[in-house]
Structure 1
Amino acid sequence: MKRMSMILFQAPLAQQAGCKVRIEVMEVTRSMVDRRNANFVLWPSCVEVQRCSGCCNSRLLQCIPIVTSIRYLQVMKIQYINKSPQYDKAIISVEDHVTCRCQLSSSSSSSSTVSIPRSPSQSNPNPLPSPPQKPPPSSYVPVSPPRPVHPALPRTHSSKADLHRHDDLKHNHQP
């Protein structure tokens, strides 16, 4: 029993992962460069993006982006022509989430009994998070000004199949 109390004493207190912008890894897909051609690879194959995630104080709420920003990145496009690699540069755009908020999820019913306090003078069980930490300047240069997002579900991809569901396949690659 003494050993168990020692372990409990040394364990850090768990902190709730609140709704805020966090770094996530996103796959760089060929469709981001060319939807008609599949005869190339891209490097790097994945990049870091800023995404809203975390817990809200109710199952009726979900963490969604309120403001987003488009960022352009240069990637290497590698094609094999006559068995020799050809290297080209390509530009992709990624969407970074800038500001997040807990809002009613679209899956919950639009009941008038649920209200979310909007004013700071009201008691708010889930206050807005502090502004997101900016990544190192070398990796984060917003090209377009932040734009408000219509309150909708964030565009996240739960699987690779979901990520590629809009890709156009050549006739010999179709199922």
Structure 2
Amino acid sequence: MCSEEERLAHRKKIRTYSKRLVTTLSIASFIGYIASLVFDVPSLNLHSAALSIVLSIVSLGLNIWSYADHFRKRNLNNQLGIENTPGQEKLTKIHINIASSASFLIGGIIPVLPFESPIIPFVSVTFSILGCAAMAANIVQTMISEPKVKKLSKGENLQVV
């Protein structure tokens, strides 16, 4: 059982660093997409959209992996007799991450569609902005819940899921 716990901890580290890398690359891709719209460079626009699609798929996969591991960790804690902390805040964070990834994915797919319309860039940017708003909401939610987790871990010896 201990090896399962170590494996989950190792997977979490891999996911954390991968998410940071994907987020950084996504921001750079979004800036490139906005720049291609402003400076009217269609080839850069297409490349930025393609990169955005790939990064969004990777991000969505990482977030679904996080969702699955959340329940694996809860089940492992139950098997070991360790009390789980309330997991709703963690689930909310994961759900916001999934919504953000889906918004970025839709925002990346729209410009690649074979439709010619002057409104397509605005729709694409709108979904990308929704993804950014979801990321910002997640950051705020993390900043609000982080002091609670620290307070719980100091007062009681609970394991954070």
Interval of TM-score (by shorter of Structure 1 and Structure 2): under 0.3
| TM-score (normalised: structure 1) | 0.24
Larger Rg: 1
> Larger strand proportion, structure 1 or 2?
1
TM-score by length of 2: 0.25
